[in-house]
Structure formats: C-alpha cells, structure tokens
Amino acid sequence: MAKGTKYKARPMDEDGFIHYTDEEHQIWSELMARQEKLIEGRACPEYFEGLEKINLPHDRIPQLEEVSSVLRKETGWEVAWVPALINFDKFFALLADKKFPCATFIRTREEMDYLQEPDVFHEIYGHTAMLTNPYFAEFTAAYGKLGYEASKEDRVYLARLYWFTVEFGLINTGQGDRIYGGGILSSIGETPHSLEDPEVVRAPFDPIEMLRTPYRIDIMQPKYFVIEDFKQLFDLANGDVMGMVKEAKRLGLREPLYPPKEEQKAS
C-alpha cells in the first residue's frame, strides 16, 4: 500500500458527486457485461443476492452513496472514498468502522484484464455485494479491529487471512465450490481459473493454514481455501484469531506453491 501508483482517485465535488468521463463509464459497462457472463454458475448464491440488492447500473460507474445507502440498511456498512493508496493504519481503521475503502479510479483499456491495484470496479463489483451478508460483514469488521491493534509483524500474517477469504475465498455449496472472494469475482482470468484449473489446490477451511500460506499478488493463485458456510467466518471473527497468529508463527510458513519472481522473470 505504500508503493507509488500511476492512478489517481476521482475527487468528490461539494455535493459528494464524483465526475467520471464518458470513456470511464464505457469501461465500467464493458467490464460489467463480460464479468456477468463469467460469474454465472461460478459465484455463490449470497453474492448474487447481494448483487440484486445493490442493483449496480450497467451503463455508468455508480456513485458511492448509491451503494452505501443499501449497505447501511442491510448491515450498517458504507463505502468510503479514499485516494488510490492508503496506509495499513487507515485501511484497518476504516474496516473496523464498517467503512469499505474505495479508490475512485477505473483501470485503463491497457489493463482491462489484470490490475494489481484495486480500482472502483474491483471494490464495488467485487466486494460490496458480499457486505450485504451479515456473517461476512461482521467478519470483515472484526478483521479490521484486529488489524488496527496488531503489530507490524502480526499484520503480515493477518494479510494472508484477508487474502484467502475476502479477496480469494471459495465456498462449498450443494452445487459444488463457488466464489465469494472479490479478487476473483472482479477478474476475467481468475474466475474460471479458481474453479476449473486442474492444477489448483482447493484446501478445506483452516485459519492457521491460511496464516501460514504465502501468496503473490501478480499471478493466478495456485491455492484457495474453501469454507463450508459463512458462519465459519463469523465464528472465526469471534474466536482467538491472534492466538492462531501466534501458533502460525511458531509453526512457520509453508513452502510457496509458485516460483520466486526472479525465476519467473528469467523464464
């Protein structure tokens, strides 16, 4: 989060309105159209229920208040405007206060398929629908409180927990595994990869294993964790997460399932 970025969030005017260009609205529309096709039969029912509630426009980028008004009614959450990058203190503080950070820029056409930085499409389309689910919303707020109070070292472990749940989580349903993680649901490549690539590891829900599992943000994930229901996340939020962090530190990290960056660049 401390690294530089070429993107800059669109500011709000005095009325809280964000002005986007026609091209930015068109990019949103195209991203929506193609992702909606991809998530059919792949996203979890709770995501579709949330998507129906927030009722995102197809022809334009929604204003943050449009989404916040629905979230407040459902779970007490809202979407908070932030610049393109924020520090971890701010990130955790917002989550603890039930405010989901959203940088109001949208990717360029050159980065339609993959973007390392979270843009407005990733945050709104990928994440906000799940925040209408009470169990998931409570887990995310509790996570923010834990992260805000944690040491710098412990935050590194907690980041893995967020990565394998909120960003890249899968859930087992009666129809098979489905997606609930926003990092997958907003990605044209990761959506089919997460469920259909035969080489991918889909491990059962295990918080300590999540805390011990390294990841990289610039590749398709080689491993995902599968929850059985969202109450598991709620129960985890109300459990001894920092005790689990301590145990994960004692056990040490797992060997990565991906090559180091240097090796991948050289190949």
Annotated catalytic residue 58: no
Annotated catalytic residue 122: yes
End-to-end, the C-alpha distance of the chain in Å comes to 28
- Tokens representing 197 are 């690539």
Annotated catalytic residue 25: no
d(CA 35, CA 144): 28
Annotated catalytic residue 167: yes
Candidates 68, 186, 187, 194; catalytic one = 186
CB count, 10 Å around CB of 233?
Answer: 26
Candidates 24, 167, 187, 194; catalytic one = 167
Candidates 46, 68, 78, 122; catalytic one = 122
d(CA 226, CA 195): 11
Strand partners, 172: 177
Candidates 46, 68, 78, 127; catalytic one = 127
| DSSP one-letter code for 91 | H
By the 10 Å C-beta count (0-12 exposed, 13-18 middle, 19+ buried), 50 is classed as: buried
Active site residues: 122, 127, 167, 186
